[in-house]
Amino acid sequence: MKKVVQVGKIKVGEDAPVSVQSMLNCSSSDFNACSEQIKRLKSAGCDIIRLAISDDNDIECAKMLIKEFADVPLVADIQFDYRLAVKCGEIGFSKVRINPGNIGGEDKVRLVADACRANGVAIRVGVNGGSIEKELESKYGSGAKALSESALKGVALLERFGFYDIVVSAKSSSVMTTIETYRLINKQCDYPLHIGVTESGGEGMGNIKSAIGIGTLLADGIGNTIRVSLTGDPVKEVYAAVDILKALNLRDYCEVVSCPTCSRCHYDMPKLASEIGELVKGVEKRLKIAVMGCVVNGPGEAKDADIGIAGGSEKAVIFEKGKITANLPFDKAVAEFKQKVGRLIADVC
């Protein structure tokens, strides 16, 4: 069991739900642009939001954002400049992300740790494939061993300064290296892990790499907070992250299962599946609804569904928890099915 770290109102670690993170990609000194993205990320289901802090203009804007969005934990992402990290520890951020190996020396890390400790701010030790400590890279190359050691060295340094509210990440753009790295870290430390595949690309391959990397680790019980890194609108990262959690039963939702169709399907099943998907969108209860292409295989294949429909050429059957409960002309069956789905949702919500 991992230690728990408080990040604003969100607990990360122990048996707390796996939280979803994303990062702003607009200018961190543009208050309006940041506000708009934060609102969109929040409504998409993002629990923790990070922004890069690169200068004092960003700091001034961050102060206003922290005031405006007191209900969402904001995280400062710092590269190299310890003075900015210290300021971020003092102005109300919930967490500061640094790579202790590139913040300018141990004495600087101590100053950041002191500022964060004094203000109840967590620190994420965040190492990426591109920022492994030189010494470790020449010893182990750029793989999992170097990444994990680099992150653990940063953790040990913070501990030396009496700082323990630590979250750890060590990401690679390689799925296999990411998985191997986190497995190594998981064996060696009790701090909560922020997991993700970095620079995974755009939608499509980026979603697949993230789903495999994050999903494999979560299925093994590794990972307490996740970020899907995609090129483009960060809101899409949140949709993908939430879907990964749903697929692993780590978030309750109404699942719509539908078959791929084949020549036995004689109705516009993709259209009905998409209509049912819209009907149940946003339902946060564990339900399973099946839309199947034919009566030959449909009811049997989806017998564990709470309710399902399987179409024939003129008629369709409705089945509930494995039992056929109606056999009606097709249009009537579809109308009846939609009504029943509506009632089922109303009952559980």
Q: Which is nearer to ligand SF4, 178 or 258 (CB)?
A: 258
Site string for ligand SF4, 240-269 (x = CB under 6 A): -------------------xxxx-xx----
SS3 of residue 20 by DSSP? strand
Strand order of the sheet with strand 287-292? 254-258, 287-292, 307-311, 315-320, 323-329
Site string for ligand SF4, 146-175 (x = CB under 6 A): ------------------------------
As a whole number of angstroms, the distance between CA 44 and CA 57 comes to 28
Cβ–Cβ < 8 Å for 150, 109: no
- Residues touching ligand SF4: how many (CB under 6 A)? 13
Minimum separation from the CB atom of position 256 to ligand SF4 (A): 14
Minimum separation from the CB atom of position 300 to ligand SF4 (A): 9
Strands (E), 74-150: 74-77, 95-98, 122-128
Stretch that binds ligand SF4, among 103-111, 148-156, 226-234, 293-301 (CB under 6 A): 293-301
Stretch that binds ligand SF4, among 7-15, 54-62, 152-160, 289-297 (CB under 6 A): 289-297
Residues in the chain: 349
Site string for ligand SF4, 44-83 (x = CB under 6 A): ----------------------------------------
Distances (CA, A) of 258 to 57, 195, 265, 271, 294: 51, 31, 12, 11, 11
As a whole number of angstroms, the distance between CA 167 and CA 183 comes to 15
Minimum separation from the CB atom of position 237 to ligand SF4 (A): 32
Q: Which one-letter DSSP state was computed for residue 18?
A: P
Q: Which is nearer to ligand SF4, 167 or 291 (CB)?
A: 291
Cβ–Cβ < 8 Å for 194, 225: yes
Minimum separation from the CB atom of position 335 to ligand SF4 (A): 21
Angle in degrees, CA 323, 328, 331, rounded to 5: 125
The single residue among 294, 305, 317, 341 that binds ligand SF4, judged by CB under 6 A, is 294
293 binds ligand SF4 (CB under 6 A): yes
- Residues contributing to the site for ligand SF4 (CB under 6 A): 259-262, 264-265, 292-294, 296-298, 301
